Amino acid sequence: MIIVLSKNITDEQKQRLIHRIEKLGLTPHISEGVERTIIGVVGDERILQGKPIDGMPGIEKIINVLKPYKLVSREFKNENTVVKIGNKAIGDGDFSIIAGPCSIESHEQMLSTANFLKENKISFLRGGAFKPRTSPYSFQGLGKEGLEYIKDAGRKNDLAVITEVVDARDIELSYEYVDVFQVGARNMANFSLLTELGKQDKPVLLKRGMSSTIIEWIMAAEYIMLKGNSNIILCERGIRTFEDYTRNTLDLSAVVAAKNLSHLPVLVDPSHGTGRKEMILPMCLAAKVIGADGVMVEVHPEPDKALSDSKQSLNFEEAKKIFNKIRKLKWED
Amino acid sequence: MIIVLSKNITDEQKQRLIHRIEKLGLTPHISEGVERTIIGVVGDERILQGKPIDGMPGIEKIINVLKPYKLVSREFKNENTVVKIGNKAIGDGDFSIIAGPCSIESHEQMLSTANFLKENKISFLRGGAFKPRTSPYSFQGLGKEGLEYIKDAGRKNDLAVITEVVDARDIELSYEYVDVFQVGARNMANFSLLTELGKQDKPVLLKRGMSSTIIEWIMAAEYIMLKGNSNIILCERGIRTFEDYTRNTLDLSAVVAAKNLSHLPVLVDPSHGTGRKEMILPMCLAAKVIGADGVMVEVHPEPDKALSDSKQSLNFEEAKKIFNKIRKLKWED
Amino acid sequence: MIIVLSKNITDEQKQRLIHRIEKLGLTPHISEGVERTIIGVVGDERILQGKPIDGMPGIEKIINVLKPYKLVSREFKNENTVVKIGNKAIGDGDFSIIAGPCSIESHEQMLSTANFLKENKISFLRGGAFKPRTSPYSFQGLGKEGLEYIKDAGRKNDLAVITEVVDARDIELSYEYVDVFQVGARNMANFSLLTELGKQDKPVLLKRGMSSTIIEWIMAAEYIMLKGNSNIILCERGIRTFEDYTRNTLDLSAVVAAKNLSHLPVLVDPSHGTGRKEMILPMCLAAKVIGADGVMVEVHPEPDKALSDSKQSLNFEEAKKIFNKIRKLKWED
Amino acid sequence: MIIVLSKNITDEQKQRLIHRIEKLGLTPHISEGVERTIIGVVGDERILQGKPIDGMPGIEKIINVLKPYKLVSREFKNENTVVKIGNKAIGDGDFSIIAGPCSIESHEQMLSTANFLKENKISFLRGGAFKPRTSPYSFQGLGKEGLEYIKDAGRKNDLAVITEVVDARDIELSYEYVDVFQVGARNMANFSLLTELGKQDKPVLLKRGMSSTIIEWIMAAEYIMLKGNSNIILCERGIRTFEDYTRNTLDLSAVVAAKNLSHLPVLVDPSHGTGRKEMILPMCLAAKVIGADGVMVEVHPEPDKALSDSKQSLNFEEAKKIFNKIRKLKWED
């Protein structure tokens, strides 16, 4: 940690600050510059987190040198984490495809989707039973009934099931139905939810918040891992910017960053990331070549009857073509 | 609702679309342009929300004409909502000041703060017992113990108590301790939490999400009101932008917009909105002249020992000066 | 300047870096931490600007301690700059109002506007002859003809004239017609234009770029002042964010920041900053109470016939009311 | 064009509006809804651009249906534009690589870079002689001297030369030295510069502005093409967002959008787009698979001595590896 002192700090303020640092077991190194004095704090600066240093008078700014996360970092664990889900895995070197509708709408819808996925050798079925919607007048999901449909469809087709939990109370209710708990973008900073998921023995797919920095996203994973659950899959799904041609701005650099900074697998969701059907294939191909561990795409038997996200959902024919093109993309490194 | 058709829509697609609209009890008005055809849908377009129109083939875009919210709108209720909290009120024409520390840290801290506020004729005490923090290593709040401290401090000084709930499960636990439930920026789109708060008989202070549009913020209030709780106070606290000199970008236009679009009282939080002590006074004065119903500011007996937000917290002396200057600002309209 | 070294820097890389710093006449102070080593560079770090340090191997990041600007800073000159424009001034403690249409459209339009302003004791007339428009099909301004209209209207009504230059070549052409050169948001980082304006003996009104940070805005003023022209007026006009209810997000914190960081006068343009008529009065009042030196507002004899910005332009009656309310706002500090 | 009328429009206002539309030779189609009336305007709505409709009283909002650009659109010209540069081309189906330093620093630097590129079968040499820099204290480029170096280096190695012009006055000066004029991000909305470039007979490489929407970027190309120059190459280089881990947020969706909306070739600049060396290879591969026509990357003989952008510049060895990996990426569609 580096502390830049104000030009007009008093001697007494400086002494109080040095004293406080030393009391915390750290060593201050003072460099007196021509215009500013800086203090380099030597020792494990993480012990300063949550400690009231930055409000002390006479400080211009504080710069953290160390990364604020530990367990999820590449420095802590160098080899890639492989998340095992029954007889399947994400992060094992294969490029995974997760597919399914935004909302679970009926038993038939889930069965036909699951069947389609199985035929196309896809291993992961997604679908939401609890839908966070901007409007209280929009379809809010089928709840427990939906969970039954997706579980049954998954079981009958040997697919691992991924579904979103929007509230810590949903975890218990959902537990027996799902293979992977999804945390949506709106809940990335719902620390109660993250903490509860950290206590579960099933993997968590953690979407990046729509206005979260890469570091905040990784910190959210640290919340989960700190509680004991290290089976975390990160998922980039676009950030909110001024651009309105796309629904969000898909930030593929964040995938490269997350792969470098952490040992966790990282997926890309081009359906929410762009909100446009015609961009799904190119963004899936891009995800593959930049080193993502897979993609999550919205597929619906009849997109024009979907109760949510119908504009960005693929029908079976479109999805099949895209799956094939993703698989054909192979190159020597 | 206006539907702009693609240039290359087929006649069959057009007929299916018109048929679907009519089946929903609405009337399509077709205007054939030189380059594009548009369909104006006449009737209550809210019945189309959650209905699968936008994924139908042949549609270029859909434009909603009506506002997506109803109960919170000025059109629904023209007069200002006054939120009553015991013998106090927000939105009654007086400019309210809510003050207190970011985190509840000790009984003494709350007592001395409450006493200071009472002496300065402030009616509302804030303080957090459950702290949503980016890092799991940061101070997370005192929980129930903190609620006891703030309640006691409030009761002894005749202050209404405002505290944040971060999870639907906190509501029951917090209920007996608080006068106003606060929804923080990170939870503005936690619809489970909003729905539960809609069933409560105590007011809700709803902060704007850091990347929420004004309309999404108002929709979040609609969630609460739709469940029966109409005692909602909006609070602008800054949005996330590229600017990093301030912690957030305080969007005072949003206050004017929210006052125009809805009948709810609107507060401003300059502490989080700017993250800088020297900006709190000017932003409080600005809040007053633009028609906000009050401000919420961070005050701490010893800011340089605060366990969170120490940089933006005012000490008692600073707070006193600011309260006085806010009160002195009077002008004939 | 602080240099944080990579964990895996080699000794040879470290020696090369230290050598380079010393060769530049600066002194490196080395603090060896548990996980990282940092080098505090003592001396005038501005001599490092434009020097190739940050690409050297073994460096994790470089943190600048000193401010990158000098001449425009409060530290360089503590007292407020008063910009004199003939017998008028901006920044002298009075709250200035600059008004007029977005585009100069006709001689009559300028004469009637100027006459209206004079009657209302406004001293500054604005109007654009060269209009930067997103579409090449939109009205591009009257050019030299427009400059003649605005000059004549100003002269006849004793108003100082402010008009935008969009290209270094316009300066010579405009010189004889204008009292203050305006740099628009799109040209804030047009360094050729800034450099040329730095050589002029007439004041410059410098708008903040729509995606410029506060520091970049101040650096743009430094460009002008470094060439010799210290008569600069800053003007906040809103930044581009995800919010689309307003045309831009007016950042009033930036005004407070600019007043603190620099000695230059700072104005607010609520017309472009919000793009909404109903927000102009509240934002003008806010500008006044936070310490801005004035406002710039769009006024047009017949807004619904304006060739640009008709939606945010005030007619004479509306403008008159707003001028009066701004003037009536007085309070003891 | 669709005009949504206010709830409280008067009959007289409505009649005036209809009259105005008819006077412009367009046909208004009126749909009276339950809560709102809308007017669909039939005819070429582009004749309304720059006409004062939106400021008329009684209008809630105006929605444009047609695209605001024409010449650059796929609808105007369906086949891809191939930009020919001497015996070379961009947009002809091959994936082009443009490389070179950010700034031209010396004759030797340009000669060794050009020689390296030739050896690696790269056809395009970039380098800046006029550098737009945030700080007036940073290196501003060698000017005409730099142009001589790059021209000579290009000529000796059969490379086409691309260099930035920052001011309309630079065009004449640069003309004889360059093969492609580059418009940088800061100048994308410098309409004087665009207009002048539209009169040239050499191609223009148009970077997207850092806060420009995709549509504004395409409109900037329309400015150039409207003046007669149809040899335009678009280049995505990252937009400004809240994320600060990367220098900008590279928006690869914008490339897909630009390829769909226009017939112009589109490049990607991952050097500025990410500001991080380790992201250049993945982003080049991504650019290739999503259908971009090429990339522009920063290469420098000794990046750690570069006078600008040293952190994101590749040395020859790094660049060679990346060029090879880009070329090896081949897949059947």
Higher pLDDT, D131 or C107: C107
CA distance C102 to C313: 8
- Confidence band, pLDDT 50/70/90 cuts, at residue C304: confident
pLDDT tens track for D139-162? 889 999 999 999 999 999 999 999
User: How far is C253 from C238, CA to CA, in rounded Å?
Assistant: 11
Chain C residue numbers touching B211 (CB-CB < 8 A): 242
Higher-pLDDT residue of D79, D34: D79
3-state class (DSSP) for residue D113: helix
Question: Which stretches of A57-143 are DSSP H helices?
Answer: 107-119
pTM, full prediction: 0.92
Beta bridge partners of A164: A182
Is 90 exceeded by the pLDDT of residue C333?
A: no
Q: Which helix (H) or strand (E) holds C116?
A: helix C107-119
* Contact state of B240 with D240 under an 8 Å Cβ cutoff: no
H or E stretch covering C255: helix C252-261
pLDDT of A309 over the 60 cut: yes
What is the chain C residue with the closest CA to D62? C311
Closest-approach residue (CA) in chain C for A61: C65
Q: D82: closest CA among D167, D196, D203? A: D203
Least confident stretch, A65-74, A269-278, B175-184: A65-74
Q: Which residues pair with C99 in a beta bridge?
A: C125, C297
Task: Indicate whether D16 pLDDT > 80.
Answer: yes
pLDDT the model gives residue A51: 62
In this structure, what token pair is assigned to residue B46? 């809210």
| Per-residue pLDDT reduced to its tens digit, B51-106 | 666 667 788 777 776 788 999 999 899 999 999 999 999 999 999 999 999 999 99
Please report which residue ranges of C44-106 form alpha helices under DSSP H.
Answer: none
Q: For residue D238, give Cα distances in angstroms to A247, D249, D250, D312.
A: 17, 5, 4, 14
Q: How far is CA B30 from CA C144, D34, D48, D60, in A?
A: 47, 17, 22, 21
pLDDT in the model for residue B34: 66
Which segment, B303-312, D25-34, D244-253, is predicted with the most confidence on average? D244-253
Instruction: Specify the DSSP element, H or E, that contains C180.
Output: strand C180-183
Q: What φ, ψ does residue A161 adopt, rounded to 5°?
A: -110, 130
One-character DSSP codes across C267-326: EE-HHHHH--GGGHHHHHHHHHHTT-SEEEEEB-SSGGG-SS-GGG-B-HHHHHHHHHHH
* Sign of the C-alpha dihedral computed for residues B165, B167, B170 and B175 taken in this order: positive
Q: Which residues contact B118 (CB under 8 A, 6 or more apart)?
A: B157, B158, B159
Which residues does chain B have within 8 Å of residue C214's beta carbon, measured at their own beta carbons?
A: 243, 245
* Comparison of pLDDT for C51 and B286, the residue scoring more: B286
Q: Where does the pLDDT of residue A182 fall: very low under 50, low under 70, confident under 90, or very high at 90 and above?
A: very high
Residue whose tokens read 């520091």: C215
Give CA–CA dist A315/A308, Å, rounded: 14
Q: Which residues are registered as beta bridge partners of B298?
A: B100
**3-class SS of residue A294:** strand
| Structure letter (DSSP) for residue B242 | S
- From chain A, the residues in CB contact with C212 under 8 A are none
Chains contacting chain D through 3 or more C-beta pairs under 8 A:
A, B, C
Q: Which residue in D52, D139, D187 is closest to C306 by CB distance?
A: D52
Q: How confident is residue D49, by pLDDT bands cut at 50, 70 and 90?
A: low
Q: pLDDT over 90 for what percent of chain B?
A: 70
Question: Per residue in D65-79, pLDDT tens?
Answer: 678 899 999 989 999
Residue pLDDT, tens place only, C264-275: 999 999 999 999
pLDDT, tens digit (0-9, with 9 covering 90-100), for A115-159: 999 999 999 999 999 988 888 888 889 999 999 999 999 999 999
Answer whether D93 touches C (CB < 8 Å).
no
Q: What's the CA gap between D97 and D81, in Å, rounded?
A: 18
- Residues 148-187 in B contacting A (C-alpha not used; CB under 8 Å): 166-170, 186-187
| Average predicted confidence (pLDDT) for chain B | 91
**Average of pLDDT values for C237-258?**
97
Residues of chain C numbered 229-248 and touching chain B (CB < 8 Å): 239, 241-246
Q: Summarize the confidence of residues A168-189 as an average pLDDT.
A: 95
- Is C215 an 8 Å CB contact of chain A? no
pLDDT at B180 (0 to 100): 98
* Secondary structure letter of residue D130 according to DSSP: S
Chain C residue with Cα closest to A64: C4
Q: What CA–CA distance (Å, rounded) separates B134 from B142?
A: 17
Of B52, B57, B313, the CB nearest to A306: B52
Taking residues A283-293, what's their average pLDDT? 98
Q: Are strands D204-207 and D232-236 parallel, antiparallel or unpaired?
A: parallel
Smallest CA–CA distance from A5 into chain C, residue = C65
Contact (Cβ atoms closer than 8 angstroms) between residue C225 and residue C232: yes
D216·C133 Cβ contact <8 A:
no
Helices (H), D6-161: 11-23, 107-119, 144-156
> What pLDDT does residue D41 have?
77
Question: Distance from A70 to chain B by nearest Cα, in Å?
Answer: 10
Decide: helix, strand or coil at residue B41: strand
Rounded to 10 deg, the angle between the B214-226 and B252-261 helix axes is 40
Distance CA D208, CA D187 (A): 9
Q: Do C289 and B291 touch (CB under 8 A)?
A: no
- For a pLDDT cut of 70, what percent of chain C falls above it? 94
β pairing state of B2-5 and A124-126: unpaired
The reply to whether residue A169 touches residue B166, judged by beta carbons under 8 angstroms, is no
Asked if B253 reaches chain D (Cβ–Cβ under 8 Å), the answer is no
For the stretch C49-73, pLDDT in tens is: 656 666 677 887 777 767 889 999 9
Q: Shortest Cα distance from A276 to chain B (angstroms)?
A: 11
Two tokens at C305?
Answer: 């016939």
Q: Is D152 exposed, middle or buried (CB count within 10 Å of its CB: 0-12, 13-18, 19+)?
A: middle
CA–CA gap between residue C252 and residue D332 (Å, rounded)? 54
Give the three-state DSSP class for C192. helix
CA distance B241 to chain C (A): 6
Chain C residues close to D216, C-beta within 8 Å: 134
Please report, rounded to a whole number, the percentage of residues in chain A having pLDDT higher than 70. 94
C211, C224, C307, C315: best to mutate for the D interface, most D CBs within 10 A: C211
Least-confidence region, from A228-232, C240-244, D49-53: D49-53
What mean pLDDT do residues C314-318 have?
96
Please give, rounded to a whole number of angstroms, the shortest distance from the CA of C58 to a CA of chain B: 27
- How far, in Å, CA of C59 to CA of C28, rounded? 14
C199 CB neighbour count, 10 Å cutoff: 11
C positions 4-43 inside 8 Å of D (CB): none
pLDDT > 90? residue C311: no
The answer to which of A310-319, B317-326, D131-140 has the lowest mean pLDDT is D131-140
> How many interface pairs between A and B have CB atoms less than 8 angstroms apart?
135
Mark out the alpha helices in chain B (DSSP H runs): 11-23, 107-119, 144-156, 168-175, 191-197, 214-226, 252-261, 270-274, 280-289, 316-328
How confident is the model at residue D40, as a pLDDT? 78
* Residue bearing tokens 């600049």: D269
Predicted local confidence at residue C235, as pLDDT: 98
- Of the ranges A226-235, B106-115, C5-14, which one carries the lowest mean pLDDT score? C5-14
pLDDT higher at C16 or C268: C268
- Residue A300 token pair: 């619906």
- Rounded to the nearest 10°, the torsion over CA C1, C6, C9, C15 is 10
Say how far apart CA D253 and CA B155 lie, in whole Å: 56
Q: Does A139 touch chain B (CB under 8 A)?
A: yes
Residue C303 has its nearest CB partner, among D55, D186, D216, at D55
- State the Cα–Cα distance between residues A7 and B154, nearest whole angstrom: 40
State the average pLDDT over residues C301-327.
Answer: 89
Angstrom distance (rounded) from CA B237 to CA B185: 8
Cβ–Cβ < 8 Å for A226, A218: no
Please tell me the distance from the alpha carbon of residue A265 to that of residue A258, in angstroms, as a whole number.
9
Structure tokens at A47: 């012990």
Condensed to tens digits (0 to 9), the pLDDT of residues B244-258 reads: 999 999 999 999 999
Instruction: Tell me whether residue B35 is exposed, middle or buried, using C-beta atoms within 10 angstroms of its C-beta: 0 to 12, 13 to 18, 19 or more.
Output: middle
Residue B124's SS3 state is: strand
pLDDT of residue D22: 86
What is the C-alpha to C-alpha distance for residues D318 and D298, in angstroms, rounded to an integer?
11
Put simply, the answer to whether A245 touches D286 (Cβ < 8 Å) is no
How much is the pLDDT for A29? 80
Structure token pair of residue A223: 């919340």
